[in-house]
């Protein structure tokens, strides 16, 4: 323990040096701005910044890139709460309850809870990196394609189980999302599927036009149909800070989301999206009032937001200790290491201790800077809600178009966004939940790839899932979740009784 404290003190001496502190501030500032813009995201931004860091000191370059990575996770929920547009992919879940809180005049408490929840999760995640990185990285090696397949199957069942309203509709949305995920090229032999001869669909449907259309554009269409009044929410702003009751409801979800997100973030392919949905499902299961979820539940916002930021810290563990990139953003961060002639992995902490501990301690500093950046701006973001909607909706549509186009610079993505906006409007009019579709779309690609890899390893035999103990245990849990509703209610697809998930 004394060695760890000594290493941390040495790391802070490095990360708090003027040049590195400035790099940390610039990184989290850029990340905060990027998180507010739907579609751009940390991956594209880090890719654009990578050439600019070549002339920088290696430690400062990694600090600024990492700051963009976790900084975007802090502010991605802002537009999700205020405008029902996820600023970052992992903020989709924040739309479900965060936007409802804003409509109830509680945008300020919602934003403040996100900031403090993100701070707690980010800090606990960095502590996890400091103390548990080597053993956790070894544990992550036990999760290969077979285990990942089992985890994703369990996620699919959880989505259907906890979808709002009828499970039949939730299942229909999951199947539709999985179908959309198959558009593009086969993950094994690159054979085109459902592309209809177009280059736009050859790479598959982009996540940005899908999610911005289903959430952002459809929300505008619904508000215009209902004749939105002078502001974008029903009610009025009564305060910018959470109440004591809010803190009581948020404390448990923040703690659980932080732990869950950190451990899931370590696993390859998980990213930050899957932990947020799983956290939401767990909180709804544990809640005494599950019927409040989707209608402004504090736990439905605090848990996933914490899982989101903790997963970002967790993703750094396999990178720093094994040289493995578990997500696209971390892959870009790996490229930054290699660009400066540094190989992350088991020897990184031995060969480059100054850089290792400098980067780790900069994440502590970055979390503090993000609180100082975001909290004073809460009032500014809440003021957006006081703008008359007839002025606000063109701005929302402009943000949607810019965010969608900027990802691939493809005008057809804007067309897809508009089409999914109409689809989202129809689904919401008919009370079909969009969240299961989004998660199935994301998980579908991962599930197909992991399943195909598993079958290749076993030469087509499904018994490989029985031969792996972890996968078998997860499949048993999945089977029990499917069977329990059949036993308790007689019909799995029947709507859940009121007050019961």
Tens of pLDDT along 184-198? 887 777 778 887 777
pLDDT score at 136: 60
Q: Which of 129-143, 424-438, 479-493 is most confident?
A: 424-438
In the predicted structure, residue 262 carries a pLDDT above the cut 60: yes
Residue 57, class by beta-carbon neighbours within 10 Å (0-12 exposed, 13-18 middle, 19+ buried)? Answer: middle
Number of other CB atoms surrounding residue 275 within 10 Å: 31
Write the pLDDT tens digit of every residue in 321-343: 766 666 667 767 877 887 788 87
Q: How far is CA 341 from CA 14, 43, 164, 173, 352, in A?
A: 19, 21, 50, 46, 11
- Say how many CA atoms lie within 13 Å of 114 toward its Cβ: 35
Q: For the chain, how many helices (H) and strands (E)?
A: 23, 2
Q: How far apart are CA 299 and CA 311, in angstroms?
A: 18
What is the 3-class SS of 168-219, one letter each residue?
HHHHHHHHHHHHHHCCEECCCCCCEECCCCCHHHHCCCCHHHHHHHHHHHHH
Residue (of 405, 433, 434, 428) closest to 223 by Cα position: 428
In the predicted structure, residue 232 carries a pLDDT above the cut 50: no
Mean pLDDT of 489-498: 52
pLDDT score at 230: 42
> What's the CA angle centered on 59, arms 121 and 122, to 5 degrees?
0
Mean pLDDT of 483-494: 61
3-class DSSP assignment, residue 237: coil
Q: Which of 19-28, 292-301, 375-384, 470-479 has the lowest mean pLDDT?
A: 375-384
In sequence order, the 6+-apart residues with CB closer than 8 A to the CB of 34 are: 40, 41, 42, 45, 68, 71, 72, 75, 88
Question: 125 falls in which pLDDT band (50, 70, 90)?
Answer: confident
pLDDT score at 25: 92
pTM: 0.65
In the predicted structure, residue 101 carries a pLDDT above the cut 80: yes
Whether 354 and 17 have beta carbons less than 8 Å apart is answered as no
Q: Encoding tokens for residue 395?
A: 């701005």
pLDDT score at 22: 92
As a whole number, the mean pLDDT across the chain is 78
What percent of the chain is predicted at pLDDT more than 90? 1
Q: Which of 7-16, 76-85, 226-235, 445-454 has the lowest mean pLDDT?
A: 226-235
In sequence order, the 6+-apart residues with CB closer than 8 A to the CB of 284 are: 162, 290, 293, 300, 501
Q: What ranges do the domains of the chain cover?
A: 2-489
In the predicted structure, residue 277 carries a pLDDT above the cut 50: yes
3-class DSSP assignment, residue 118: helix
Q: What is the CA radius of gyration of the chain?
A: 22
Mean pLDDT of 109-134: 82
Question: 31 falls in which pLDDT band (50, 70, 90)?
Answer: confident
Q: Which of 118-122, 222-226, 364-368 has the lowest mean pLDDT?
A: 222-226
Residue whose token pair is 């990942």: 148
In the predicted structure, residue 493 carries a pLDDT above the cut 80: no
pLDDT score at 234: 46
pLDDT score at 5: 76
Helix, strand, coil tally for the chain in percent (to 5): 75, 0, 25
Mean pLDDT of 435-446: 75
pLDDT score at 387: 66
């Amino acid at each position: 323990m004394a060695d760890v404290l000594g290493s941390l003190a040495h790391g802070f001496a490095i990360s708090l040096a003027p040049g590195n502190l400035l790099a940390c501030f610039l990184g989290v500032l850029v990340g905060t701005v990027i998180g507010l813009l739907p579609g751009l995201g940390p991956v594209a931004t880090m890719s654009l910044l990578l050439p600019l860091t070549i002339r920088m000191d290696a430690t400062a370059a990694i600090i600024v890139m990492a700051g963009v990575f976790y900084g975007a996770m802090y502010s991605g929920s802002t537009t999700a709460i205020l405008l029902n547009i996820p600023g970052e992919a992992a903020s989709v879940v924040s739309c479900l309850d965060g936007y409802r809180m804003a409509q109830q005049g509680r945008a300020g408490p919602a934003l403040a809870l996100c900031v403090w929840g993100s701070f707690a999760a980010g800090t606990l995640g960095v502590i996890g990196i400091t103390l548990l990185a080597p053993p956790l990285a070894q544990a992550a090696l036990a999760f290969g394609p077979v285990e990942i397949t089992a985890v994703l199957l369990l996620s699919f069942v959880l989505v259907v189980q906890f979808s709002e309203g009828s499970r039949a509709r939730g299942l229909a949305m999951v199947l539709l999302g999985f179908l959309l995920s198959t558009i593009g090229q086969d993950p094994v032999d690159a054979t085109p599927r459902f592309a209809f001869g177009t280059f736009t669909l050859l790479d598959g449907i982009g996540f940005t036009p899908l999610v911005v259309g289903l959430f952002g554009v459809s929300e505008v269409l619904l508000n215009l149909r209902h004749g939105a009044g002078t502001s974008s929410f029903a009610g009025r702003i009564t305060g910018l800070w959470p109440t004591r009751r809010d803190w009581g409801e948020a404390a448990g979800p923040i703690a659980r989301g932080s732990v869950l997100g950190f451990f899931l973030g370590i696993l390859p392919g998980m990213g930050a999206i899957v932990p947020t949905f799983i956290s939401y499902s767990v909180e709804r299961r544990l809640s005494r009032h599950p019927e409040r979820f989707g209608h402004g539940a504090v736990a439905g916002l605090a848990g996933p937001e914490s899982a989101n930021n903790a997963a970002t810290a967790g993703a750094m563990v396999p990178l720093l200790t094994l040289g493995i990139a578990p997500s696209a953003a971390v892959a870009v961060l790996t490229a930054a290491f290699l660009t400066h002639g540094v190989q992350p992995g088991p020897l990184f902490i031995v060969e480059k201790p100054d850089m290792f501990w400098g980067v780790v301690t900069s994440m502590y500093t970055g979390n503090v800077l993000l609180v100082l950046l975001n909290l004073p701006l809460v009032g500014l973001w809440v003021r957006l809600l006081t703008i008359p909607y007839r002025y606000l909706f063109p701005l929302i549509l402009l943000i949607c178009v810019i965010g969608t186009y900027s990802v691939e610079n493809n005008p057809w993505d804007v067309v897809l966004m508009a089409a999914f906006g109409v689809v989202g409007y129809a689904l919401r009019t008919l009370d079909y939940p969009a969240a299961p579709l989004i998660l199935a779309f994301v998980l579908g690609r991962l599930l197909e790839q992991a399943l195909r890899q598993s079958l290749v390893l076993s030469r087509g035999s499904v018994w490989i899932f029985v031969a792996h103990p972890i996968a078998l245990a997860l499949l048993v849990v999945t089977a029990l979740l499917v069977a329990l509703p059949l036993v308790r209610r007689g019909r799995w697809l029947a709507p859940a009784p009121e007050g019961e998930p």
